[in-house]
Chain A
Amino acid sequence: MIESLNPLLASALAAAIPLMLAALGELVAERAGVLNLGLEGMMLVGALAAFVAVTHGGGLPGAVIAALLAGALFALIFGFVTLTLQANQVAAGLSLTILGTGLSAFLGRQYVGYRAPDSFAELPIPYLSELPLLGPSLFSMSALGYATLALLGIISWFLYRSRAGLILRCVGESPSVARSLGLPVMAVRYGAVAFGGAMAGLAGCYYAVAQFKMWQEGLTSGNGWIALALVVFATWRPARVGLGALLFGGVSALGLYLQAINVHVSVFALSSLPYLATIIVLVAISSDQNAIRRNAPASLGKPFHAGG
């Protein structure tokens, strides 16, 4: 019985990894006070960049670097428009998604129809991968999968345990206070936006070079929006983002798994279940109003006027 759960868990984890990557990047940007709704666009641009790199002989390191750079540079367009030009973040973020979707589709035309020549293979950790239940899924991920879990830990540590993280959160809470303390508000926000873009790019890289091993238009199929929602429902806390991503991936895999073992449940209910379950659980554990107020960056989405 336990063995038959292996594919389910592996499939849940595979779906959760890119959501985690994108959501963690967005979380850092939002903690610095910048709301970037362009996740889906940045993921697509990153996915295409990774696929192009790997197709032209860049190998896996090339794919990762290309995705990180493409995501970060693309996010910096948003950064320039919202931070330097102080445009509305919601409108600029939506434009970024539209631009990223169109741009990746247009530039990616000639890459449709092929398998990536190289891709991230599963790297089972000796002994650990033979553990019952979690072994074959958790300890036989691809390098990107392990990196994601490591990043989850690093980002938690960074935000709550490091001085730089404190500065970043301070900038997100009250940029004017941060500025009066002599902190470089603009630089921090630019950095956070670029980091968010790089992580979204990496999520795209995961789709194109680890999970699907192909490029197709819109291959993220709306997962950028799910990652965005995860950040809010997880009340801007990294561990809860991780939990939410696993829950979402798990419930959506479960729905398909139940069908494959002939358990008859309405498929329409099953396809809405991942959304419902994730929202209910995250809302339930985050229902403390004070906690939300404490965690939500106070200046989220508001442009900062230096000197004003």
Chain B
Amino acid sequence: MKTWKHAAASLAGAFALLTAASPALSADKAADPLKIGFVYVGPIGDGGWTYAHDLGRKEMIKKLGNKIQTTYVESVPEGADAERVIRDLAAKGNRMIFTTSFGYMEPTLKVAKSFPKVEFYHATGFKSDKNVTIYNARMYEPAYLAGIIAGHVSKKGILGFVASFPIPEVVRNINAYTMGARSVNPKITTKVVWVNTWYDPGKERQAAEALIGQGADVLLQNTDSSAVLQAAQDKGVNAFGWDSDMTAYAPKAHLASAIEVWGGYYTMAAEAMLAGKPIKTTVWGGMKDGMNDLVSISPTLPAAAKKLVDEKMAGIKSGKLAVFTGPIKGQDGSIKLAAGKTLTDKEIDSVNYYVEGVEGQLPK
């Protein structure tokens, strides 16, 4: 038994060494820094969603230095595990906690009730509380611009979308992508495959292959890895990066990357907390606020496409162009929104239908 204990200790020791190298524990020990916790749904090396959040955290550290001290926990499953992790972060004296995935909504609200003095910030949800504040990025804006590019590039008129979970956040991106493409080519259709996960490169790739097999030649994904882009390059079709700039993964297939930029928000929220006036209002930032963007647009794009994208991007950034402007038709061609009207934020956040041009049935 003794030997086993030694062995276990040495394994545990090796593991502890690894975790000790994380920036969380090596942060400067300034006088009472503001402790901030982050809960991530994927690994920070996913090159996508969680990677983007971690870039934001790092930017905040760069700006605020030793006034703050951050801790993060990665690859936390949505559900009961999340509650435990969030509770643990709160108990360890973190005064601000960012929970960065949709599925953390209920656990965040639950833990927040037991820690009224801690400020919780939940990304992409729709329920807030006295000390739970929502923040989100309008990813449907770059998704719409990506659609415009896809409309120009697609030869077969079939787009593919690898989707994660059937929630409004994802459904509206499918809609925006399709609307963007149909603004260029009204005959284009979008095929959707749901993989029921945020991060599983194997499944994401299989989904991409299934779509390409059915003729889709420009793909977009609402999942967190770059597997779809890789599959596109291997099969000689095009795709977009999502969440982070993914150019280097597939230089040939890559058309542009729709990204989130969280650093500004994190810095602002921490500064407000340091000043004693924590942010309590929902921030739903878009390209106008610098919270997301469409970057690394491929130089191979036709000039007409480039020009149109620039134009629409300028419109979105100045606030003059709202993506979800009528007429918006449902799959059966029925009018969902009359011409000239725009969807309110509440409507955008509860969208539960596909627009015209999306194939298949929305899972319920």
Is A129 positioned at the interface, with any CB of B under 8 Å from its CB?
A: no
With the chains together, A109 CA to B22 CA distance in Å? 11
Interface size bracket, A side: 35 or more
Chain A proximity of B5: nearest CB distance (Å): 9
Contact of A262 among B46, B246, B360 (CB under 8 A): B360
**A221 — which chain B residues lie within 8 A by C-beta?**
197, 199-203
**A180 — which chain B residues lie within 8 A by C-beta?**
none
Contact of B7 among A81, A105, A214, A218 (CB under 8 A): A81
Is B327 positioned at the interface, with any CB of A under 8 Å from its CB?
A: no
Chain A residue nearest to B244 in the complex (CB): A113
Q: A interface, by DSSP: helix, strand, loop or mixed? A: helix
With the chains together, A4 CA to B210 CA distance in Å? 10
Chain A proximity of B54: nearest CB distance (Å): 11
**B251 — which chain A residues lie within 8 A by C-beta?**
115
**A114 — which chain B residues lie within 8 A by C-beta?**
248-249
Is A217 positioned at the interface, with any CB of B under 8 Å from its CB?
A: yes
Interface size bracket, B side: 35 or more
**B75 — which chain A residues lie within 8 A by C-beta?**
217-218
- Judging by beta carbons under 8 Å apart, are A253 and B46 in contact? no
Q: Which of B232-259 contact A (CB under 8 A)?
A: 233-234, 244, 246, 248-251
- Judging by beta carbons under 8 Å apart, are A99 and B196 in contact? no
Is B225 positioned at the interface, with any CB of A under 8 Å from its CB?
A: yes
**A186 — which chain B residues lie within 8 A by C-beta?**
none
Is B182 positioned at the interface, with any CB of A under 8 Å from its CB?
A: no
With the chains together, A124 CA to B291 CA distance in Å? 46
Interface mask (A106-136 → B, CB under 8 Å = 1, otherwise 0): 1011001111000000000000000000000
**B246 — which chain A residues lie within 8 A by C-beta?**
113
- Judging by beta carbons under 8 Å apart, are A98 and B43 in contact? no
Chain B proximity of A5: nearest CB distance (Å): 9
- Judging by beta carbons under 8 Å apart, are A260 and B213 in contact? yes
**A8 — which chain B residues lie within 8 A by C-beta?**
210, 213
- Judging by beta carbons under 8 Å apart, are B205 and A211 in contact? yes
With the chains together, A253 CA to B203 CA distance in Å? 8
With the chains together, A86 CA to B45 CA distance in Å? 35
- Judging by beta carbons under 8 Å apart, are A98 and B15 in contact? yes
Is B157 positioned at the interface, with any CB of A under 8 Å from its CB?
A: no
Is B124 positioned at the interface, with any CB of A under 8 Å from its CB?
A: no
- Judging by beta carbons under 8 Å apart, are B202 and A211 in contact? yes
- Judging by beta carbons under 8 Å apart, are B203 and A92 in contact? no
Contact of A256 among B4, B19, B46, B210 (CB under 8 A): B210
- Judging by beta carbons under 8 Å apart, are B44 and A86 in contact? no
- Judging by beta carbons under 8 Å apart, are B210 and A216 in contact? no
Is B184 positioned at the interface, with any CB of A under 8 Å from its CB?
A: no
| A7-B213 in contact given A106-B21, A252-B203 (Cβ < 8 Å) | yes
Q: Which of A257-282 contact B (CB under 8 A)?
A: 257, 259-262, 264, 266-268, 270-271
Is A213 positioned at the interface, with any CB of B under 8 Å from its CB?
A: yes
Is B70 positioned at the interface, with any CB of A under 8 Å from its CB?
A: no
| A87-B3 in contact given A95-B11, A266-B363 (Cβ < 8 Å) | yes
Additional 6 contacts, C-beta under 8 A, given A85-B4, A103-B18, A267-B166: A11-B206, A108-B45, A213-B230, A256-B195, A260-B207, A268-B363
Q: What would be 25 A-B contacts, judged by CB atoms less than 8 Å apart?
A: A7-B212, A10-B209, A11-B205, A14-B206, A88-B4, A98-B15, A113-B47, A115-B248, A115-B249, A212-B227, A212-B230, A214-B226, A216-B225, A217-B44, A218-B199, A221-B201, A252-B206, A253-B206, A253-B209, A256-B193, A260-B207, A260-B211, A264-B361, A267-B194, A271-B195
